[in-house]
Chains A and B, each alone.
Chain A
């Protein structure tokens, strides 16, 4: 059999330490190492390096570690199952859709309504319906007027009563009509 060169010997040294060599190649390598100090040193160093790597093993972390591992993994798996949804129902998607619906309702039903209320004249809101009937006088079907001349003597007074809360200026109905009624 042909003698080994150093390059081939180095390869066989690693193969021998890693997987083992058949008898023929092992003999060939040994013959080379016996007469080659450089490859002998290489073989010793490589044996030491691989031995060191193999010995550098972490210890088992212990039973407490494995118990904690199992418990927390099981909890995470359960969480995953719940997120996935029972009976294949995509709860996450449904939840997102429900949230979107609530937001839309809030925007179109709530906020706009609030906005409208804010635009109403506060002064106008103060006038309630029976106050209006008193001011406008009796209707055709009413026998007794709700106001008498004794109570309201001048149109200026009426204007003051109706719009007194609004700096003396009526804002949304004609005061002249009431004045006419009182003058009759």
Chain B
């Protein structure tokens, strides 16, 4: 059964249809959120809140877009709210980060330093550029899909991605110079 059929089933009162949608999207959606907010517990809370909103709002969902796009749009709005509340400035380290034993100590230090500078540079990007970059690289969404999720046009999404990469290069170059 595809997403559209499941949505219709849910509207008829079949609660299991929603469970199936949760099973399909809970992991990928939570991982998307985790890649942006960088905290597993926050990602869990946001993702669950998204499904609760979907549960309440699904009866009013007009099906103008796919269920996935609609769900990700709710998620990105929630992520934006979360980041604004948290006054996000610097991305925290991943608890899962482990130094690569194949690299020499100097290479490891360089890699850690690069990563730290990268995260600081990504955090300094304007919100829409940052989210566009992350959806494009991590989720491999095309620009039309990004536009549907974040709002705006595909052209604007492409421009945001270009600007984000240019800004990152400039920030990282400046960080390297000042290091």
A interacts with B:
yes
Interface flag for B80 (CB, 8 Å)? no
Residues of A close to B18: CB separation below 8 A: 77
Interface membership of B137, Cβ < 8 A: yes
- How many A-B residue pairs have C-beta atoms within 8 angstroms? Tell me: 77
Give the residues from 23 to 63 in chain A that come closer than 8 angstroms, CB to CB, to chain B.
42, 45-46, 49-50, 52-54, 56-61
Asked whether B17 is an interface residue with its Cβ less than 8 Å from the other chain, the reply is no
- Select one of A10, A45, A52 contacting B173, CB under 8 A: A45
Contacting pair B165 A46 (CB below 8 A)? yes
Tell me the minimal C-beta distance from A54 to chain B in angstroms.
5
**CB-defined contacts of B119 to chain A, threshold 8 Å:** 56
Report if B118 contacts A (CB, 8 A). yes
- With A14-B165, A49-B169 already in contact, the answer to whether A57 and B35 are too (CB < 8 A) is yes
Q: Which of A50, A60, A81 contacts B137 (CB 8 A)?
A: A50
Cβ–Cβ contact B56 & A80, under 8 A: yes
A65 sits at the interface (CB 8 A): yes
- B138 located at the interface, meaning its Cβ lies under 8 Å from any Cβ of chain A in the complex: yes
**Residues of chain B lying within 8 A (CB to CB) of residue A70:** 22, 26
* Contact between A18 and B115, CB atoms less than 8 A apart: no
Q: Residues 29-41 of chain B: 1 if any A CB is under 8 Å from the residue's CB, otherwise 0? A: 0110011001010
- Measured CB to CB, the closest approach of chain B to A104, in angstroms, equals 32
Question: How near does chain A come to B129, taking the closest CB pair, in angstroms?
Answer: 12
Does A148 sit within 8 A of B, measured CB to CB?
A: no
Does A92 belong to the interface (CB within 8 Å)?
no
Asked whether A53 lies within 8 Å of B48 as measured between CB atoms, the reply is no
Per DSSP, chain A at the interface is helix
- Chain B residues near A61: list those with CB within 8 A: 34, 40
Cβ 8 A contact of A56, one of B56, B118, B166: B118
User: Is there a chain A Cβ closer than 8 Å to B5's Cβ?
Assistant: no
* A136 and B19 alpha carbons, distance in the complex (Å): 84
A50/B56 in contact, CB under 8 A:
no
Interface residues of B in 24-55 (CB under 8 A from A): 26-27, 30-31, 34-35, 38, 40, 44, 47-48, 51-52, 55
Residue B154 CB within 8 A of the other chain: no
- Shortest Cβ distance from A17 into B: residue: B165
Interface string of B96-138 (1 = CB under 8 A from A): 1000000000000000001100110010000000000100111
B147 to chain A, nearest CB (A): 16
A61 to B27, CA, bound (A): 10
In the complex, the answer to whether A58 meets B34 with C-beta atoms within 8 Å is: yes
Residues from chain A with a CB closer than 8 A to the CB of B44 are 65, 68-69, 72
10 contacts between A and B (CB under 8 A): A49-B118, A49-B172, A56-B118, A58-B40, A59-B94, A61-B40, A73-B26, A73-B51, A77-B52, A80-B55
Interface residues of B (CB under 8 A from A): 15, 18-19, 22, 26-27, 30-31, 34-35, 38, 40, 44, 47-48, 51-52, 55-56, 94, 96, 114-115, 118-119, 122, 133, 136-138, 161-162, 165-166, 168-169, 172-173
Residues in A lying within 8 Å of B, measured CB to CB: 10-11, 14, 18, 42, 45-46, 49-50, 52-54, 56-61, 65-66, 68-70, 72-74, 76-77, 80-81
9 residue pairs, one from A and one from B, having the closest CB atoms: A59-B96, A61-B40, A73-B48, A58-B94, A52-B118, A49-B169, A49-B168, A58-B34, A54-B137
